[in-house]
A and B are shown apart, each in its own frame.
Chain A
Amino acid sequence: MKPNNVILQTVTRVAVFIIFTFSIYLFMSGHHQPGGGFIGGLSTAAAIVLLYLSFGIEKVRENIPVDFKKLAAVGVFIAVGTGLVSIVYGQPFLTQTFGHVNLPIFGDTELASAMVFDTGVALAVIGTAVNIILSISEDR
């Protein structure tokens, strides 16, 4: 008989969105404000761990069908891939570039290839953190 975690689960439902939002904010603002891929990834992982804690591993796995080992690998591939793209353009490995684009809704927006690299960092961090915690928790 599992203990009834109504309060925890209810709070989690709200809190997780706040944490997700905050971590996306941290990630997006990394270019100009404190934050970035690493801390953004870690706080996302924290939200996922909270989900695991309150709803159990099986249920979360059904609803977020992501293999976190693969996610980590994808993250590293993205990071390396951005480096390779710069080679295609005849630049040294991992040369980053940026530019200002006028997008329909956002107006004058700065887009930087470093953002893609940071995405790779974030994915790798999320994947690794969740992977470690899952592995340890499954160790019976």
Chain B
Amino acid sequence: MAIFFIFIFLPFLSAILVPFLYKYLNRLVHTGWFVLLAPLFILIYLLQYIPSIAAGETYQYTLSWIPTLGINIVTYVDGLSLLFGLLISGVGVLVIIYSIFYMSKTREALHQFYVYLLLFMGAMLGLVFSDHLLVLYGFWELTSVSSFLLIAYWYERKSSRQGALKAMLITVIGGFGMLAGFIMLIMMADTYSIREIIAQVDVIQNHALFIPAMLCILLGAFTKSAQFPFGIWLPDAMEAPTPVSAYLHSATMVKAGIYLVARTTPIFGGSSVWFWLVAGVGVITLLYGSLSALRQTDLKALLAYSTISQLGLIMSLLGVGSLAVYFGPGEKGSLFTVATFAALFHLFNHSTFKGSLFMVVGIIDHETGKRDIRYLSGLMQVLPVTFTIAMVGAFSMAGLPPFNGFLSKEMFFAAMTELTHVSAFGLDRLGLIFPVIAWIASVFTFVYCMIFVFKTFGGKFHPEKLTRKVHEASFGMLFAPIVLCLFVVLTFFFPNVLGKYILIPALTSVLPMMPISSTDLKISAWHGINTELLMTIGVVVLGFLLFRTAKRWIRLFRNYPQTLTLNHLFNKALPSMEKRAASLTNRYMTGSLRHYLSYIFSFFVMLLLGSLLLNYGLKFDFSNDASITLFDAGLVLVMLIAALTVLLTNHRVVAIVALGAVGYMVSMFFVIFRAPDLALTQMVVETVTTVLFLLCFYHLPKLKKDIERIPFKLSNLIISISVGLTVTLLALSANGHKLFEPITAFFERAYELAGAKNIVNAILVDFRGFDTMLEISVLTIAGLGVYVLIHQRSKRRKQDETE
């Protein structure tokens, strides 16, 4: 059991070692050779699971993390996670071999590269094996972070940083959405485990949060898998080193969204929203990606858009496959089970051929120094092996025999045409859209695949356009793409081996409710003349014609205005958001204290008066009030006059003295309300503060000393009157609401408890001595503050004089 965790965390463990290996051994051996061991061990270890998983077994391992909160690292090995695990570790091995020859030992910061790469690999493994939703989310974010680091690997380039930032923003927004969806799922099912949630699917489907949770999770999946319209980060992520593009942006990370959709299909599948979103967005992405790929002149950008398009294909197949959940076991259901099977099959195929294609571009870039198809031509003569690999990969992508892309594309067409015979979800009217779009997109896919191969390798060789002397890449660089190409070809000839051992177990975990027999799902290269084959022939014929006439119409695409692209919108949206935010902040953060005070007071009034009125808190009860004496009335009158004087006078000294008068009146109030201690203190303190005010007045700057009245402002008047009104109303209604007896009875026992006849003093020093202790501390700190302020200033002044 522990062994499994050791293997899953092996990338993290070895990431710790990489900097040491780099520092001490890089001069002798390329660090990549050590790094290679981690995915190799994982691959070998995971291969052992194939027989037992194929026999229908699953494994679950638990590692305690935060057991009190029910958060544990639970890994679950079934067909789907094993398929992904094998892809991650297998392509990982090949990419690292490739990177050993691609990344220079001396010029590149290899320790950073491999640490990030290993972090990513570990995160991805953790993601696909997690059964715990929150742990899955943790690994999900870790893939976002490590891919951010990898995209910005050449951080001194501006475009790298921008690409990384864009990828980070979009995938993390999706990640947050996904987290929200996960939390809703957890709330609905009251468990963290995906398997237990799947078991409770009947409860969840009738829950009010079902659709919101689905939308949030799909947001996460679509952003990660670069679906329309979130795919814009993927082309910009091509600034990363090519091994990274090959690994992250073709074989692994972009399939995390696919994994998520496949994983949650048993929960959400069967709902019409799910079908339309997944299949619809997938098909739109397929078309959008293939059209955009045609516009590209940069080989990597072309491959990026083709990745988007192919991911859309897989996504749409998963959407169609979710119909199997709707129909349930039976003839109809098993027809759509084939769609899910095709999705998984194409997922595997895409990883193989797209990985090899990226590596091909890396080789071209490495050998010629150029990635732009306008500069490249006739490389067939100088790079024969690379050309073969590119041809195999691209023809497989285009869906030609004898490569594995042909098989999955046939199955794709079969699934799409099947949709026209469905009478659910409004498909009886709209079902035809799917095969038509799929077919058109496939034609364009064919065209860009041809462009990819024949614009770069066909035609005449022009060495004068290139800066370097071109020769075939070393065997080490060619090794990984050759292995991937072998898979491309072998899968075509022996698809059922792969199907039986890997894809069918994966299919059972995507559609656990379907009875799956391997005889139904036999992949055959030749299945008679049927619609799919005719469609493929149509694709090839029309695609070939379009390719031959490409010069005439491709300008249409290239001249498509930049301002209408999604990228442009995104690039416009960010600065305008920043500008809006800044202007909003500048509008209310004026720097004027008067404004801030008016905000504070308005809020105070709104909250207090509002809640008072809304909760019917305004109740007045004057029955317990004491009667008003002549003294009280007289004092209040004097205080009112003094307070008005403060407001209306146009002389500061008058205001200060009037304020002092108010203070003395307060102490008079203390006298007549029988609070001698307060009266004494108030008198002395009022004297001191008045003196200090006078001092401040004396030191006012001579300039502008001419005294003005307080300028009248209506808003100030309204705010101050409403504040006064609020406080008065609050005090009056609080006075009317005596919820319980006051606790003064306790303090009246002061003599027997504290030996003091003065209750006030007993409270101050005995009952509530803690407050007093802190108050004298405050006082002392204030005194020290005054001392420090004044002495610092006079010291500085003295320094200025001596200088």
| A→B interface (CB under 8 Å) | 26, 30-39, 42-43, 46, 69, 72-73, 75-76, 79-80, 83, 93-94, 96, 98-99, 110, 112, 114, 117-118, 120-121, 124-125, 127-129, 131-132, 135-136, 138-140
Separation in Å of the B485 CB from the closest CB of chain A? Answer: 79
B786 touches A136 (CB 8 A): yes
B769 touches A136 (CB 8 A): no
A80 to B787, CA, bound (A): 23
Q: Which 6 A-B pairs rank lowest in CB-CB distance, beginning with the nearest?
A: A98-B755, A128-B783, A34-B676, A32-B757, A124-B776, A114-B765
Interface stretch among B187-195, B349-357, B730-738, B789-797? B789-797
A43 to B683, CA, bound (A): 11
Which residues 680-727 of B sit at the A interface, judged by CB distance below 8 A?
680-681, 684-685, 688, 692, 695
A98 to B754, CA, bound (A): 7
A117 touches B676 (CB 8 A): no
Question: Which residue in B677, B755, B783 is a CB contact (below 8 Å) of A110?
Answer: B755
- List, in ascending order, chain B residues with CB within 8 A of A138's CB: 790, 794
B761 touches A35 (CB 8 A): yes
A32 touches B756 (CB 8 A): yes
A117 to B754, CA, bound (A): 13
- List, in ascending order, chain A residues with CB within 8 A of B758's CB: 30-36
A2 to B315, CA, bound (A): 97
B677 touches A39 (CB 8 A): yes
Question: Which residue in B755, B765, B790 is a CB contact (below 8 Å) of A135?
Answer: B790
Q: Kindly state whether residue B779 has any CB partner on chain A within 8 Å.
A: yes
B770 touches A75 (CB 8 A): no
Q: Kindly state whether residue B365 has any CB partner on chain A within 8 Å.
A: no
A84 to B322, CA, bound (A): 72
Q: Count B interface residues, CB 8 Å.
A: 37
A37 to B784, CA, bound (A): 20
Known: A33-B757, A43-B684, A114-B766. A128 touches B780 (CB 8 A): yes
Separation in Å of the A125 CB from the closest CB of chain B? Answer: 7
Residue of B at shortest CB range from A86?
B769
Separation in Å of the A114 CB from the closest CB of chain B? Answer: 4
18 intermolecular pairs with C-beta atoms under 8 Å apart: A31-B755, A31-B758, A34-B676, A34-B680, A35-B680, A36-B760, A72-B779, A73-B780, A76-B776, A98-B755, A112-B756, A117-B772, A121-B765, A121-B776, A128-B783, A132-B783, A138-B790, A139-B793
Separation in Å of the A110 CB from the closest CB of chain B? Answer: 6
A90 to B782, CA, bound (A): 33
Q: Kindly state whether residue B764 has any CB partner on chain A within 8 Å.
A: yes
- Given A39-B681, A43-B684, 9 further pairs, Cβ under 8 A: A32-B756, A33-B758, A36-B758, A42-B685, A42-B688, A94-B769, A99-B755, A114-B766, A117-B773
Known: A112-B755, A121-B772, A121-B776. A131 touches B761 (CB 8 A): no
Separation in Å of the A123 CB from the closest CB of chain B? Answer: 9
- List, in ascending order, chain B residues with CB within 8 A of A125's CB: 776, 779
Classify the interface of chain A: helix, strand, loop or mixed: helix
A115 to B672, CA, bound (A): 28
Separation in Å of the B766 CB from the closest CB of chain A? Answer: 4
B755 touches A36 (CB 8 A): no
Query: Binary interface profile of B, 740-781, with partner A (CB < 8 Å = 1, else 0)?
Result: 000000000000001111101110111001101100110110
Residue picked from B677, B695, B770, B776, most chain A C-beta under 10 Å: B776
- List, in ascending order, chain B residues with CB within 8 A of A117's CB: 765, 769, 772-773
- List, in ascending order, chain A residues with CB within 8 A of B773's CB: 76, 79-80, 83, 94, 117
Residue of B at shortest CB range from A118?
B765
A34 touches B677 (CB 8 A): yes
Known: A38-B681, A80-B773, A114-B754. A96 touches B780 (CB 8 A): no
A94 to B692, CA, bound (A): 34
- List, in ascending order, chain A residues with CB within 8 A of B756's CB: 31-32, 98, 112, 114
- List, in ascending order, chain B residues with CB within 8 A of A39's CB: 677, 680-681, 684
- List, in ascending order, chain A residues with CB within 8 A of B692's CB: 136
Residue of B at shortest CB range from A73?
B780
Separation in Å of the A103 CB from the closest CB of chain B? Answer: 16
A140 touches B765 (CB 8 A): no
A110 to B755, CA, bound (A): 8
Known: A96-B766, A112-B755, A129-B688. A31 touches B761 (CB 8 A): yes
A76 to B774, CA, bound (A): 9
A114 to B695, CA, bound (A): 37
- List, in ascending order, chain B residues with CB within 8 A of A129's CB: 688, 783
Known: A34-B758, A112-B756. A75 touches B677 (CB 8 A): no
B780 touches A124 (CB 8 A): yes
Separation in Å of the B784 CB from the closest CB of chain A? Answer: 7
Known: A83-B773, A98-B755, A121-B776. A132 touches B786 (CB 8 A): yes
Residue picked from B676, B685, B758, B783, most chain A C-beta under 10 Å: B783
